[in-house]
Amino acid sequence: MKIAVVGPGAVGSYYGAKLVRAGQEVHFLLRSDYDAVKRNGVTIHSPEGDFNARPKCARMPEEIGQSDLVLVALKTTANDQFPKLLPPLVGIGTVVLTLQNGLGNEEELAKLFPIEQIMGGLCFVCLNRTAPGVVEHMAHGVVILGEFQRWPDPRTHDIASMIRHAGVPCEVTDDLARAHWEKLVWNIPFNGLGVAGSVGIDALKLGSVPAGTQRSPCLTTDRLLGDPAWAAIVRELMREIVHAARASRPKRVVREMERVRN
């Protein structure tokens, strides 16, 4: 399968390298990392074993051309580049799979391509890009795939099977929108509060950081939940997200609500 990876940072490089190692024809659309990846490939450091992969490298999408699968791993702040970057990669039979965080990415793709060509993926993985072409994988890696506003079909399961063959745990959801909300119930409280925790709960409540405040390391999930004051804010945020999910999807109940209640 010919695969184009758009935005090969930490997430795109990790999963793209896995697919290269599994024998797929993988093209990276690169900017600042082009020279390093062209010269040295992509190196993954992982508890599962270090490895190096050699994707095909391009600076412009026209160099890659139409692909069977396009993996979109851009930061969402770069979604305005979709009209420039994606059309040269997409033909009638191309699947465009966004692996981006948050809501609305599939909707942005649907402005350019038919709904039946669009899929979404949620990545549950801990990793960092530590240097050009180098990714540190700490833990996890599961990908959950779903069709945009459609039920899964054989194509969905074929792509999931290909990803599993590359050594990546992969599941298929029958409700992509619900899966996005379920991930946000976790991501929004812990990502945001983890960073805010570096300046303390008083600064959070004040809404500003007093001059001279000493910054500490970001708070991890266990520390947030282990402190009653922080845990209360975590649960408050979770409830707010669940209410937003219910308002946007009144016929479905977000399963994560049970975790909030507990």
- Residues marked active site are found at 183
Q: Which residue in the block uniquely carries the two structure tokens 């007093």? A: 210
Contact 183, 176 (CB under 8 A): no
Tell how strand 42-45 and strand 51-53 pair up. Answer: antiparallel
E-strand ranges in the chain read: 2-6, 25-29, 42-45, 51-53, 56-58, 67-72, 90-98, 118-131, 134-147, 170-172
Distance, in Å, from the CA atom of 257 to the CA atom of 145, rounded to the nearest integer, reads 22
Retrieve residue 243's tokens: 């209410």
Retrieve residue 1's tokens: 């399968």
Q: Which residue in the block uniquely carries the two structure tokens 């795939």? A: 145
Return all residues near 98 (Cβ < 8 A) that are at least 6 apart: 72, 105, 106, 109, 118, 119, 120, 121
Q: Which helix (H) or strand (E) holds 244?
A: helix 228-248
